[in-house]
Amino acid sequence: MAQTMPMRTAPLLALALSAIALSGCTKDASLYPSLATRDAERVSGTFQPAPVQTYVPPQPAPATLGKVGQLRADAQAAHTRFLAAAQRAQGPAAGRNSEVGSEAWSVAQVALADLSAAHSATMIPLADLDSMFAAAQNDGEDVSEIEKARGEVEAWVAAEDKVLDSM
């Protein structure tokens, strides 16, 4: 019976000790800062958005623009050669129905090979313009001149593709 008595008083003793320990925290409230909302923490005023500045891309270097003009001129000259080769190939194109290995078939094959070579010569400046367009766009430069030349050369290549498909 002597042992059961301390078991009953242990929780009471712990409660009393904790009450005494906690009472030490309430000594003087002026020693600790208040947890109330401060004036600086209140929502007040308005924020103004930053002024909008439109981005104006810089022009590519003059050497780049000169190269664009040169590539366009090269493509135009190649397209002119293609059109002349297409005129020459129209006559031998009648060899379509001729027997493989015949003279007419051979002449038509050579004419188509010349036409295909002229087509490739137009596509080379287009590939260079594509490369310049991607580089200028990645550098954040104005690509309008390159895009204009590229569009013209693409139209010439598309027209040449139609001619080749018709033969």
Domain ranges across the chain: 62-166
Position with higher pLDDT, 21 vs 57: 57
Average confidence score pLDDT of the chain:
83
Please give the Cα distance from 82 to 119 (Å, whole number).
Answer: 6
**Per-residue confidence (pLDDT) for residue 147, from 0 to 100:** 94
Residue 36 has pLDDT above 50, yes or no: yes
Number of C-beta neighbours around residue 104 at 10 A: 15
Position with higher pLDDT, 95 vs 125: 125
Question: Region 45-70: what's the mean pLDDT?
Answer: 87
SS3 68: helix
Residue 145 has pLDDT above 60, yes or no: yes
pTM tops 0.85, yes or no: no
Query: For residues 63-80, b (16+ Cβ closer than 10 Å) or e, as one string?
Result: ebbebbeebbebbbebbe
Position with higher pLDDT, 85 vs 8: 85
**Per-residue confidence (pLDDT) for residue 94, from 0 to 100:** 54
**Per-residue confidence (pLDDT) for residue 29, from 0 to 100:** 66
Please give the Cα distance from 159 to 156 (Å, whole number).
Answer: 5
**Residues sharing a CB contact under 8 Å with residue 69, sequence separation 6 or more, in sequence order:** 149
**Per-residue confidence (pLDDT) for residue 1, from 0 to 100:** 47
The residue among 16, 145, 4 whose CA lies nearest residue 68 is: 145
Residue 167 has pLDDT above 80, yes or no: no
